[in-house]
């Protein structure tokens, strides 16, 4: 099994594998191109995002700066919007539904590291993240490996989402917890 296959299976893998490093560099170059575009060059920006991501809707906007690890693990639905400084560490699948709005300075981190120092020095793991439809994520939110956020949910600014959040709720805090049903 290749290191990429291990990565996508959520198993421990070596991120310094040549294939993974080459794909990481390719994505970083595309992110760099995207972030250097004039703000009015929306069509060229969308072309770059479509090269990076495995799936996009027809209507989307990602404000620069944007960073990801590989890009090929990211899917966005229709009418996706992200404010400035979105970071997606996509060593595993990151899926966003339709009508998702993301505030500035948010991070979606599929990558994690073993607690044991000897293992951590060599290997890491990644778990998928899934965001439902009609989700609003406030500024400065961190979504951690393996988390699912349900449909029609609001995540309050500054939250750290470490566990699944159901549909139709408002959730806030560190760690993020449901405070209200919608």
Could you give the residue numbers annotated as active site? 113
Residue partners of 153: CB distance under 8 A and separation at least 6? 132, 134, 135, 136, 165, 166, 167, 168, 169, 170, 171, 182
Sheet (strand 129-131) strand order: 74-76, 94-96, 129-131, 148-149
What backbone phi and psi angles, to 5 degrees, belong to 26? -60, -45
Largest distance between two CA atoms of the chain: 48
């Amino acid at each position: 099994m290749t290191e990429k296959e291990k990565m996508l299976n959520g198993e421990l893998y070596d991120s310094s594998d040549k294939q993974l490093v080459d794909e990481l560099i390719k994505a970083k170059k595309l992110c760099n191109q995207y972030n250097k575009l004039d703000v009015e060059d929306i069509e060229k920006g969308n072309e770059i995002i479509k090269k990076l991501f495995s799936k996009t809707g027809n209507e989307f906007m990602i404000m620069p700066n944007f960073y990801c690890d590989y890009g090929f693990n990211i899917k966005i639905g229709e009418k996706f919007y992200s404010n400035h400084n979105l970071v997606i560490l996509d060593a595993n699948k990151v899926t966003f539904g339709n009508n998702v709005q993301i505030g500035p300075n948010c991070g979606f981190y599929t990558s994690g590291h073993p607690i044991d120092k000897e293992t951590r020095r060599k290997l890491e793991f990644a778990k998928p993240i899934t965001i439902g439809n009609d989700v609003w994520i406030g500024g400065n939110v961190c979504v951690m490996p393996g988390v699912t956020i349900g449909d029609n949910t609001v995540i309050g600014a500054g939250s750290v989402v470490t566990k699944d959040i159901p549909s139709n709720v408002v959730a806030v805090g560190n760690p993020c917890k449901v405070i209200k049903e919608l």
